[in-house]
Amino acid sequence: MELFNFSKKESRLYMSFMYVTFVSLLVGGLMGLLQTLVRSGKYTLPFNIDYYTILTTHGVVLGLVLTTFFIIGFQFSLMGKTVGISDKQIMWGWVSFWVMLVGTVLAAWMILTGEASVLYTFYTPLRAHPIFYIGLALVIIGSWIAAIVNFRQLYVWKKAHKGEKSPLLAFMVTINMVMWVVASLGVAYSVVVLILPWSLGYVATVNVLLTRTLFWYFGHPLVYFWLLPAYMAWYAIIPKIIGGKLFSDSLARLSFILLLMFSIPVGFHHQLTEPGIDPTWKFIQVVLTFMVVIPTLMTAFSIFATFETTGRNKGYKSLFGWFRHLPWKDVRFLAPFIGMVAFIPGGAGGIINASHQVNALVHNTIWVTGHFHLTIATTVILTYFGIAYWLIPHLTGRRLTPKLNKLGIIQTIIWTVGMTIMSTSMHIQGLLGGPRRSNFSEYAGGDQVATWISYQISQAVGGTILFVGIVLMVYIFIQLAFFAPRGYEEYPVAEEDMDAEKTPKILENWYLWIGITIALILFAYTIPMIDIIKHSPPGSIPFDWPIGRS
Amino acid sequence: MHLHKYEKVWLVFGLGSLALFLIIIGFAAFWKGTHPQSHIETIDPQNVEANEAFQPENLGLTEVAEGKYVVNMVASAFNYDFGKEEDGSATKTIRVPKGSTVLFQITSKDVVHGFQVAGTNVNMMVEPGHISRFEAVMKNNGEFTVVCNEYCGIGHHLMFGTVEVY
């Protein structure tokens, strides 16, 4: 397998995405800390800052900015490593970076001045300042430019390597970007065609249910867009770190194809308690949602099979010897491993959330917040950290020293402890009916509310521990970017076994897989969308005052 | 494509449980009729009074038959309108006897809201232009907090009420 060395120019491009990632981590993390403190009831924000400004910042900066910048930067590096990048492609990479950054700055400016306290879901008919929507649209457009560059990179490589299968990681990046483009078309249409003209006053009313449906058409693949880069690391990078080989190239590709197909026609499971949508179509999308169980089980099997095979090849014969001898003291392994473990309760919670009926018990309660702090904020983010420990020094020509490795292990433990406390208490409070997305409130008082508040205090404890973890992670990042000793840090990419089975050609038939994906989307959405549009109520005029705009 | 024997076992077991799981929720949905709130009925959000249920005098609790109640409500930022008490003050608490069947009907005059009777299965999105409707049997005694659980603006956390089952 051929791996390309990064030029200085290339490394600079990939690093620029990482700077934004870690600045976002610090800013968004601080907001998270403040939220948990406010919700404990023992602290009020200074300078008349509104809770929902902080909440919007937290969601947008961590959910949209940190993730998108990290993913696109990491994926560019994967493409550069496995299929190479031309000077022209680097130039377009910079264009995507700047378009996304300008969009981010515009949106952030509006949020921080209180003109866009609409949370990261920006549900109409709450109206933010038009510049907020323009900023969001630019972030999406920038990400599309990155996607086109990635597609072009693979295409150029394929032309030069006729008849060869594409490198696994390049294939995975392409899947993720295809999913992203198909999904974000929905939200882009909603923002640019429906919301922006309405926010500018050119159109009087907006169809609320339609914008929500388009948002969730995008909103679920969005979470897979976060997850797939973590899967890339689990399938194709962790095996190298633990000294093993790829488990199965075909299995990895098949599981990514299934994730592509079943990522989009599923948005209704976020809208289960919503009026105006036929419950039969909700049920159909619930069934499609659960198809994700298949690639998930394949992934779990493949990861543990890699662990065991690697251990056995190293000579650990006893029943669990292979497990005990995994490189626990290597943070490049430990952080993603804890991420994998968190995905077990995280996934189980997801099954509950997407269940047709049980959803009503947890919908919009803080249980949901607890759920995605296990999945995105533990599984995904610890894997991203696990990647950063080698990616940053590889890009800056430095080394992950034993001391920094140790700090990383401490960081991972702090994160695990903090998140266990915070997420568990969120889950319990949610089961008791405590709502999400809410400032501290004693409501009408009584036992129920008193119990909620007691869990909010433990969330503040967990949140404080997590913030310590964030500061430590940012410190490690600064060290790896500017101060660690110069040297060479490996970019780990797992290889196939010499005698591995040939990967079937059909797995690279893009027309087929994208065709099925689109067919599934049309099946799941056409009729309910026609219903929503045909039976739409009088539209909604914009509302500014509820979010404090005059 | 070759699959390891253990992997086949693992996938067959996993897919089998998945199928069973989906059959159970499908059975509950289509044979037992347990669907999530999905009422389909539109309304003009700027003129909710055009619908009889949401005229001011019809808001709040009404007993429609022995042990059967309807509660009509209008949500707006940042308040639930449960109608008025006899003395003219706004109703804040809905009181129903234990074991009664209650149909909750709600719509929004402005933005998207939530309506959850915390501690029960009553949990619905409330959207302008649509009527949300959910029937529940109140099986347990107690005071249940009604919360708006979808962000509706800077006073979102001040939007609440109480359902008392006696």
On the question of pLDDT at A549 being above 90, the answer is: no
CATH (domain of B101): 2.60.40.420
Average pLDDT, chain A: 94
The answer to whether residue A113 neighbours chain B at the CB level (below 8 Å) is no
On the question of pLDDT at B28 being above 80, the answer is: yes
Q: Which of B149, B152, B162 to mutate to test the interface with A (most CBs of A within 10 A)?
A: B149
Residues B68 and B94 in one domain: yes
Residues B60 and B121 in one domain: yes
The string of pLDDT tens digits covering residues A18-48 is 999 999 999 999 999 999 999 999 898 898 8
Strand order of the sheet with strand B93-96?
Answer: B93-96, B160-165, B142-147, B113-117, B123-126
Residues B81 and B154 in one domain: yes
Residues B76 and B158 in one domain: yes
pLDDT band at B6 (very low <50, low <70, confident <90, very high): confident
Q: What is the mean pLDDT of residues A463-475?
A: 97
Please check whether residue A436 is in contact with residue A381, taking contact to mean a CB–CB distance below 8 angstroms.
Answer: no
Q: Which of A373, A394, A398, A427 is catalytic?
A: A373
Total domain count for chain B? 2
Please check whether residue B108 is in contact with residue B153, taking contact to mean a CB–CB distance below 8 angstroms.
Answer: no
Give residue A517's pLDDT: 94
Percent of chain A with pLDDT over 70: 100
Compute the nearest-CA separation of B156 from chain A (Å). 7
CA A516 to chain centre: 24
Q: Domain range for residue B141? A: 48-165
The answer to whether residue B19 neighbours chain A at the CB level (below 8 Å) is no
The answer to whether residue B121 neighbours chain A at the CB level (below 8 Å) is yes
Residues B28 and B63 in one domain: no
Catalytic residue status for A394: no
φ, ψ for residue A41 (rounded to 5)?
Answer: 85, 0
ipTM of the complex: 0.94
The string of pLDDT tens digits covering residues A338-362 is 999 999 999 999 999 999 999 999 9
Give residue A500's pLDDT: 79
Catalytic residue status for A372: yes
Chain B residues in contact with A210 (beta carbon < 8 A): none
Please check whether residue B156 is in contact with residue A126, taking contact to mean a CB–CB distance below 8 angstroms.
Answer: no
On the question of pLDDT at A550 being above 80, the answer is: no
Q: Do B149 and A360 touch (CB under 8 A)?
A: no
pLDDT band at B133 (very low <50, low <70, confident <90, very high): very high
Q: Does residue B41 sit within a domain?
A: no
Q: Does residue B88 sit within a domain?
A: yes
Q: Which of B25, B112, B118 sits opposite A433 (nearest CB)?
A: B118
φ, ψ for residue A343 (rounded to 5)?
Answer: -75, -15
Give residue A19's pLDDT: 97
Q: Does residue B43 sit within a domain?
A: no
pLDDT band at A315 (very low <50, low <70, confident <90, very high): confident
Chain A residues in contact with B46 (beta carbon < 8 A): 538, 541
Give the DSSP H or E segment for B113. Answer: strand B113-117
Q: Do B40 and A251 touch (CB under 8 A)?
A: no
pLDDT band at A66 (very low <50, low <70, confident <90, very high): very high
Compute the nearest-CA separation of A293 from chain B (Å). 8
Compute the nearest-CA separation of A492 from chain B (Å). 26
d(CA A176, CA A224): 8
d(CA A385, CA A338): 11
Q: Do B147 and A278 touch (CB under 8 A)?
A: no
Residues B77 and B126 in one domain: yes
SS3 at position A540: strand
Residues B85 and B137 in one domain: yes
Q: Write out residues 51-70 of B within 8 Å (CB-CB) of A.
A: none
Both tokens assigned to A238? 């962790």
Residues B18 and B95 in one domain: no
What is the reported pTM? 0.95
Q: Does residue B138 sit within a domain?
A: yes
Residues B7 and B81 in one domain: no
The answer to whether residue A212 neighbours chain B at the CB level (below 8 Å) is yes
Both tokens assigned to B159? 């939007």
Catalytic residue status for A224: yes
Q: Which of A359, A444, A535 sits opposite B40 (nearest CB)?
A: A535
Residues B104 and B150 in one domain: yes
The answer to whether residue B23 neighbours chain A at the CB level (below 8 Å) is no
Burial of B90 (0-12, 13-18, 19+ CB in 10 A): middle
On the question of pLDDT at B3 being above 90, the answer is: no
Q: What is the mean pLDDT of residues A97-103?
A: 97
CATH code of the region A1-236+243-326+512-544: 1.20.210.10
Peptide bond into B78 cis (omega under 30): yes
Q: Does residue B143 sit within a domain?
A: yes
Q: Do B114 and A364 touch (CB under 8 A)?
A: yes
- The CATH 1.20.210.10 domain(s) of chain A lie at 1-236+243-326+512-544
Give residue B1's pLDDT: 66
Q: Which of A122, A273, A303, A508 to mutate to test the interface with B (most CBs of B within 10 A)?
A: A273
pLDDT band at A501 (very low <50, low <70, confident <90, very high): confident
On the question of pLDDT at A140 being above 80, the answer is: yes
Give residue B4's pLDDT: 79
Q: Which of A293, A538, A546 sits opposite B153 (nearest CB)?
A: A546
Compute the nearest-CA separation of A141 from chain B (Å). 27
Residues B96 and B123 in one domain: yes
On the question of pLDDT at A202 being above 90, the answer is: yes
Q: What is the mean pLDDT of residues A421-428?
A: 97
Please check whether residue B11 is in contact with residue A298, taking contact to mean a CB–CB distance below 8 angstroms.
Answer: yes
Q: Does residue B40 sit within a domain?
A: no
Compute the nearest-CA separation of B56 from chain A (Å). 21
DSSP letter for A525, please. Answer: H
Give residue A321's pLDDT: 84
Q: Write out residues 141-180 of A within 8 Å (CB-CB) of B.
A: none
Closest listed residue to residue A193, CA positions, set A207, A177, A180, A183: A207
Q: What is the mean pLDDT of residues A239-255?
A: 92
Both tokens assigned to B99? 């074991």
The answer to whether residue B144 neighbours chain A at the CB level (below 8 Å) is yes
Q: Which of A277, A297, A441 sits opposite B157 (nearest CB)?
A: A441
Chains A–B, number of C-beta pairs less than 8 Å apart: 234
Residues B54 and B78 in one domain: yes
The string of pLDDT tens digits covering residues B40-93 is 999 999 999 999 999 999 999 999 999 999 999 999 999 999 999 888 899 999
Percentages helix, strand, coil for chain B (3-state, rounded to 5) are 25, 35, 40
Q: Do B42 and A535 touch (CB under 8 A)?
A: yes
Chain A residues in contact with B11 (beta carbon < 8 A): 294, 297-298, 301
